[in-house]
Structure 1
Amino acid sequence: MYNIICFGEMLWDILPDMELPGGAPMNAAYHLQKLSPQVAVISKVGKDNYGERLLALLRRHGLTTAYVQQDAAQPTGRVLAQPISDHDVQYNILFPAAWDFIEWQPALDGLLRQAEYLVFGSLATRHEVSRNTLHKALEYGVKKVLDINLRAPHYTREGISLLLQHCHVLKLNGAELELISSWLGDFPAREDKVRAISRQYDTHTIIVTLGADGALLYMNDRFYYHPGFRVQVADTIGSGDAFLAGFLSSMIHGRTPEQCLAYANAAGALVASRAGACPDYDVWEIDRLLD
C-alpha cells in the first residue's frame, strides 16, 4: 500500500559544473521515503540514459518505479540551472519533455483509491496530456497537497486557480503569495494575503516559506511562525521539497502545528546545506538541528 502519491516532473538539473537529479515531485518523494515510507511517484521519463539513471535512483532509495512511465518519443526532462547568487537559482525548463506526457493508466485507479495524500505542483500542468491526467487524479478522495511552482511562462492564472480549488494543504513562497493574493485584491499585511487565499479557495492549511527568514503556517484560523535554522548554504535546490516532506510527515505522525513547522524548517535547512535536491543524509541529522 502506498500512502502518499507524488505526481509530476522527474528531470535533471544541469548546472555549470554538474548534473543533478531533480523535479519537485521526485524530490519530495525522495525525502518522504526517508521520513514516511510507502511513497509512490507518478511520472514519465524518456527511454534514454537520463531516464534510466532516474529510475535507478528511485530503486536505490527504496521507491517503486511501477508508476513511472517511459516515453520513446520524448526525452527525459532537463532544466538548465544557473546560480545567480548565494541563495538563488535561475531555471530554464526545457520543453517538451517526457513528464509533459504522463498518461492515465488503469493502474492509477487502484493506486489513488488506497492512498491518503496526493502531492502535486503546477508545473506538470503546462501540457494538456499531463494536465488532464492530474485533473483526473484530483477527482479522487485523497487529501490534496499543492506545492505551487510558478515558473514563467509555464502557467496561467486560470490554471492555477483551478488547482487551488482542489487543495487541502497549500505551500508557496513569499513571491507566489504576493502574486496569487494580488488576483484577489489589495491586502496590506502578509497575514491578510494568506487569509484571503484561505477564504477564496476554502484551504485551511497554508504554508509560506520565507527563505532565510524561516516560514509561517496558517492552520485552522491560527498563525504559527518559525525563524528557520542558520546553516552554511551549499545551494537551495530542493530545500523547499525537503521542507514540504518534513511538514507532511510530521502532520501524518500527529505532531502539533508548531512541531510540524519546526521539523519542516530543519529538513529544508539540512538539504540547503548540501549540494543538489536529493543529497545523502540520515534522518537523525534533522533531529540534531532541532536540538
Structure 2
Amino acid sequence: MKNLNTSVVCFGEVLWDVLPTGRIPGGAPMNVAYHLHKLGINSQVISSIGNDVAGANLVVFLKTVGLSTDHIQVNQQYATSEVLASINDHNEVSYEIVYPVAWDKIAWQPELAEMVSKADAFVFGSLSSRDNVSRETLLRLLDVARYRVFDVNLRAPHYTVDLVTDLLNRADMVKLNTSELMQIAQWYDANCQTEADCIELLFREFNVREILITKGSTGASYYTAAYRYDYPAYKISVADTIGSGDAFLAAFLAMKLTDEPVEVALDYAVAMGAFITSQSGACPEYSRYDLGRFIWKKKLFSHNPNYHNHELIAS
C-alpha cells in the first residue's frame, strides 16, 4: 500500500511527552501523521512551536522521520509544549498539559486553506481548540475541508460542552474511545447507558456520518446510521498505551482512503493499535514489513483469525 496521491492534513498539537524514562515526541495530530507517512500516505502537520531548543529538536525529529515542517509555525512569544506524562500500574497514561503554549496560537495563513481544501481528509481534535487563536484558525479550515475527521481527546479542564458540540456538528467522522462516547452522550441524555443507545444519540443529534470507537482490550467498532462492524483486540504484552489510538486512526484512514473495505480497514487498524501498544512510545521506528509480520504471527496463532461482526442496524 503506497499512494502518495492520497493526502491527509493533521491540525493541532506537537509537543514533547516527558516520561519517567525520558522525553519523546508526541501530540495526537503528529502521531497520526507519522503513522500515515509510514503507511505510504502523503501527510502534513499544521502546528506551532516556540523559538527554543525544544522546538528546534522537534523540527529535527520531524525531518528525520520524513515529515514536512513547512506548516510548523514558529511563535516568538510562547514556548514549545512539554507535557508531563505518567504511566500507572495498568500501563495507562495520564497527562499534565501546560497552557498556554505555542500550539495554542496557530495563526491563520491563506495557504493553509488551499492545502486543506485539496486534501482527502482533514484530521483535528478537541485539545487544540482550547485557545481562541488556534480555534478560529481551525474553524476556518473546517469550512473548506472535504472530509472532516474529529479525533476526540477529552483532557480536563481543556474542553467545554459547547466546544465539543460545535466540533461534532462540523465532523463527517468521529473517532473516540468508549468512555468519551459515554461521557458525551450523557451530556444530552443522562439515562444513556449502552453503547447502542449512545451511538444512536450521536447520529440523531449531529450530522456525523461515521463513528469509530476504540475499546482497548475488547477491540473496536465502526458505525454508520445503517451498519455496525466489530473487530476483536489482538492479544499482546502491553508496553504502554501512548499513541495507540492515534496509530489506530491512521491505519483505518490509510485503508479507507485507498478504497479498502471497512472490514479490512477495521482489522488493520486494530492490528496497528496493538502493534504500537506492544512497543514503547507513540512513534517507534518500524516498517510496513514489521507490521505485516506482526499481523501474520498473530493471525497464525489465533484460534479465530478471521472473526469479525457485520450487522445491519437500520433499514
Please state which band the TM-score falls in when normalised by the shorter chain: over 0.9
Quick check: 1:235–1:276 contact (8 Å CA) kept in 2? yes
Q: Which whole-Å deviations, capped at 9, do the CAs of 1:79-105 have from their partners, x for residues lacking one?
A: 100112233111100111100000001
Number of the residue aligned with 1:77: 81
Tell me the equivalent position of 1:219. 224
Distance of 2:6 and 2:221 partners within structure 1 = 29
Contact 1:2 1:114 (C-alpha < 8 Å) held by counterparts: no
Per the alignment, in what secondary structure is the counterpart of residue 240 of structure 2?
A: coil
CA distance in 1, matches of 2:169, 2:60: 35
Secondary structure at the aligned position of 1:27 is classed as helix
TM-score, length-scaled by structure 2: 0.89
Matched-pair contact (CA < 8 Å) for 2:185–2:202: yes
Between structure 1 and structure 2, the one with the greater Rg is 2
Query: Contact 2:241–2:277 at 8 Å: present in 1 too?
Result: yes
- Distance in 1 (alpha carbons) for counterparts of 2:231 and 2:289: 20
TM-score (normalizing by structure 1): 0.97
Q: Which residue of 1 aligns with 2:255?
A: 250
1:202 aligned to 186, 204, 207, which one? 207
Distance 1:278 1:95 in 2: 24
Q: Does 1:286 align with 2:294?
A: no
SS at match of 2:49: strand
* Mean CA deviation greater in 179-188 or 124-133: 179-188
Contact 2:203 2:225 in 1 (8 A): no
Where 1:44 maps in the other structure, the secondary structure is strand
Q: Secondary structure at the match of 1:103?
A: coil
Partners of 1:284 and 1:199 in 2: CA distance: 42
Q: 1:260: which partner in 2?
A: 265
Residue 251 of structure 2 corresponds to residue 239 of structure 1? no
Query: Which residue of 2 is the match for residue 166 of structure 1?
Result: 170
Identity %: 42
Alignment correspondent of 1:178:
182
**1:255 aligned partner, one-letter code:** E
Q: Deviations over 1:204-240 (max 9, x none)?
A: 2101111111111113521111111111111100110
Structure 2 contact 214–220 (Cα < 8 Å) conserved: yes
CA spacing shift, 1:35–1:162, aligned 2, 3 Å: same
Matched residue SS, 1:151: coil
Shift of 1:2: 7.3
Counterpart secondary structure, 1:42 = strand
Higher deviation after alignment, 210-219 or 106-115:
106-115
Output the CA distance in 1 between the equivalents of 2:246 and 2:86.
Answer: 19
Deviation at 1:289, TM superposition (A): 3.3
- Specify the SS of the correspondent of 1:38: strand
Structure 2, gaps ≥5 residues long: 297-315
Q: What's the counterpart of residue 48 of structure 1? A: 52
> What SS does the aligned partner of 1:266 have?
helix
Which residue of structure 1 lines up, in the alignment, with residue 95 of structure 2?
A: 91
Please identify, of 241-250 and 55-64, the stretch whose mean Cα deviation from structure 2 is larger: 55-64
Alpha-carbon distance between aligned partners in 1 of 2:203 and 2:290, rounded to the nearest angstrom: 34
Distance 1:220 1:63 in 2: 35
**C-alpha displacement of 1:187:** 2.6
| Offset of residue 137 of structure 1 | 0.6
How far is the alpha carbon of 1:279 from its aligned partner? 0.6
- Letter aligned with residue 47 of structure 1: N
Mean CA deviation greater in 94-103 or 107-116: 107-116
Tell me what 1:276 maps to.
281
Q: CA deviation at 1:198?
A: 1.6
What residue in structure 1 maps to residue 64 of structure 2? Answer: 60
Residue 149 of structure 1 pairs with residue 161 of structure 2: no
Distance between the aligned counterparts of 1:188 and 1:63, measured in 2?
Answer: 41
